[in-house]
Amino acid sequence: MTAVVLDKVTKVFNRGRADEVTALAEVDLTVGDGEFVSLIGPSGCGKSTLLRLIADLIEPTTGTVRVAGKEAGRARRDQDYGIAFQQAGLFEWRTVRRNVELPLELRGMGKGERKARAEEMLALVGLAEFAGHYPAQLSGGMQQRVAIARALAVQPPLLLMDEPFGALDEMTRERLQGELLGICAQTGTSTVFVTHSISEAVFLSNRVVVMSARPGRITAAIPVDLPARDEAARQSERYFEHVTAVRQALRGVPATT
């Protein structure tokens, strides 16, 4: 089964008005089970729109979106995915643990089970001892980790992330990238990851999907094949080859690899 299938998806905003914008035109994309796919491209290329279409936060103008073999709306109602945005978006009136519990609570999970699951997820992101803190007491990086724990709490087969590390400093960003890869490997989650950063996309992904703007389209899909994804990999020649390939694709130069 494939995690995500987009078939000739077009999204037009403000249709029929003077400010009509074609955000996405005829996009086809398939994300396999357990695959980590990054979407990269200039601002306004529709990568966030694409993610929101998969999440059924907006509806396609034409074309079909299928998630986990179901129509996207059905998949959303079944909570077949977890989502994390650029802003952690934690609820400041809930403790860290109760933030992670939120999606479970809405699913009607019992109190004890919910608490156990939330604590397990917090341990996964290394914040077990901060369960009783309030979001405002945590640094930006820690809040983002809570948001990731929250996205993972329902143990979704698919993780959707919209520049989740965008607001973080480089150090925190690299550490969280490592943690995310570990979690995905551990849980076998498929991931669609929106980013501005070429190096981040290459380091994390099995495949980097390059997009261009006006109208938003997929211009290249570059498979990334790294033997390992650790600190050494960031210095390896293969890594830089892929970075160059993605950069060229972004500039519109035909890929050489």
Partner 1 sequence: MRRILAILAGLLVIVALWEGYKAVGNPDGTVLFGVRVLPRADDLSMPHVWTVLQRLGRPELTGGRPVWIVVLQACLFTLGITAAGFLAGAAVGLLLAVAMQRFRLVERGLLPYVILSQTVPLVALAPLVAGWGGTIMPPWATVAVIASYLAFFPVAVGMLRGLQSPAASGVELMRSYAAGWWRTLVKLRLPASLPYLFPALRLAGAAAVVGAVVGEISTGTRGGIGRLIIEYSREATSDPAKVYTAMLGAALLGLVVAGAVSLFELPLMRHRRHVEVVTL
Give residues in contact with partner 1 (CB under 8 A): 52, 55, 57, 76-79, 81, 83, 85-87, 89, 91-94, 102-103, 105-107, 130, 133-134, 136-139, 141-142
Q: Extract the tokens encoding 240.
A: 């830089």
Q: Is residue 35 within 8 Å of 3, Cβ to Cβ? A: yes
Residue among 53 and 245 whose Cβ is closer to partner 1: 53
Q: Cis ω on the peptide bond leading into residue 215 (within 30° of 0)? A: yes
**Residue 21 or 102: which CB sits closer to partner 1?**
102
95 vs 111: CA distance, rounded Å: 15
Q: How far is the CB of 211 from partner 1 (least distance, A)?
A: 21
In whole angstroms, how close is the CB of 37 to partner 1 at the nearest point? 19
Nearest-approach distance from CB 136 to partner 1, in angstroms: 5
Taking the complex as a whole, the smallest distance from the CB of residue 7 to partner 1 amounts, in Å, to: 22
What is the three-class DSSP state of 152?
helix
Report the distance separating Cα 83 and Cα 158, nearest Å: 9
Q: Which is nearer to partner 1, 76 or 247 (CB)?
A: 76
How far apart are the C-alpha atoms of 54 and 19, rounded to whole Å?
A: 24
Q: Which is nearer to partner 1, 31 or 250 (CB)?
A: 31
- Residue 98: CB atoms within 10 A of its CB come to 18
